[in-house]
Structure 1
Amino acid sequence: MENVILIVHLLLAMSLIGIVLLQRSEGGGLGMGGGGGTATGRAPATPLGKVTWLLAIGFICTSLALTIVAAQKSAGSSVLDRIGNQPRTEEPADTAPALPTGDGLLPPSGGDNAPLVPRAD
């Protein structure tokens, strides 16, 4: 279900970009001309303007639907819950943490074929 909504969302986004690029510039936004002709504040709605509104409404609806689906999928889990399941190794409070040795700070030598594995310390 999430994949279907995502595909529709992407199609709406691409078509919204295309429709906006097809529209004529109304001027004034970047100091360019192209509008003009009417002394009233608002021009009549064009078919491209109506399609833009429909695509924008569809885009917002699919955005909300994707948010709701994502929230339902993650409702039972939290990142902090996953972190809390790992066993803890506690150090005595009176000792300072050990500093890393110089070997861990140097890059591997040319003849070293072992893969670099991250350590948890």
Structure 2
Amino acid sequence: MTTFLLILTMIVSLALIGVILLQRSEGGGLGGMGGGGGAGSFMTGRGTTNLLTHSTAVLAGLFMVLCLGLGIMDKGAAGGGGHDILSTKSLTQAASQPGTGKGATQPAPAPQAPQPAQPAR
């Protein structure tokens, strides 16, 4: 399922790139290419702009949903240990406790000095 979603995300991202590149930077969006056929043409310049803007919005929304779905399905898979960010202590809790922050080590216990032997009486 993850592979399918990943391939679908790649296709949607390439389609999104293509639709964005078809638009003009000033918002005309294929305006010079679409309106040459007269009143009976299929898509006027304005209609092409609306189609590209709506398809950009739909593709962007689909891309975001697919990325969120992939993130939810694969949470913790990259670490290999199944670590979940929601089930671990937050950094603020760990930093507030002494000796539990990142890279903190516990101090070694002090060595006990040997006691002098008591002479027997």
Q: Which interval holds the TM-score relative to the shorter structure?
A: 0.3 to 0.5
Q: TM-score, normalised by structure 1?
A: 0.46
Quick check: which has more Rg, 1 or 2?
2
Q: TM-score, normalised by structure 2?
A: 0.46
